[in-house]
Amino acid sequence: MKKIKIIVALLLVGLLISACGGPKGPKRVWQPEWYDLQENAEYVQTYGKAVKMSENAAYDAAYANAMLQAAQYVESYVKGMVKNYNSESGIENPQVLASIEKVVKVISNAKFDKTMVTKRETIITDKDRFKTFVRVSIPKEAVNKNLINQIKNEEALYNQFKASQAFEELENEVKNY
């Protein structure tokens, strides 16, 4: 009888320990197997995802995110600002109020020809929202064309700057003469 009680007690302790095994680790966020893969060497493939209340809105937002990623691949202008505020109020027992604001703005501009959506998958989340994953394929020639145009524009601006600098030097020489 004592052996049975000891065995039952050990089984209960074993079950208790296994049930309270602690955290099982972080949950992975699901995404399709094809997401973030570059499968075709002739294309630059960009990806977007979005969660919205309607299927069309989710698709449009995911497509826009993929195109934004492509534009940022070619050219991005980044502006940032950090503000730090500290203030103290009260006489006998002052309180310190602190606030930090950080703002980052990224602007991209690019034009691509012959882009196409080559993969798309939509699921319904547990909150009855539509989550859409999109892969947009852009021919590398279109991306290269954008990069070459950006380089030419930068070179033209630099040449214009140098010419204006030379003109200013010439004016200064004439004034000094």
Global pTM reads: 0.56
55 DSSP β-pair partners: none
Indicate the residue type of 70. A
99 DSSP β-pair partners: 85
To 10 degrees, what angle do helices 140-176 and 55-74 make? 50
pLDDT of residue 152: 65
Q: Which of 113, 121, 110 is nearest to 150 (CA)?
A: 110
- Give the start-to-end residue ranges of the domains of the chain: 29-176
What are 37's two structure tokens? 């893969």
CA separation (Å) from 122 to 20, 32, 115, 153?
37, 10, 20, 40
**Where is mean pLDDT largest: 12-16, 33-37, 59-63, 90-94?**
59-63
Q: Percentage of the chain surpassing pLDDT 70?
A: 62
Q: Is residue 22's pLDDT more than 60? A: no
pLDDT of residue 50: 94
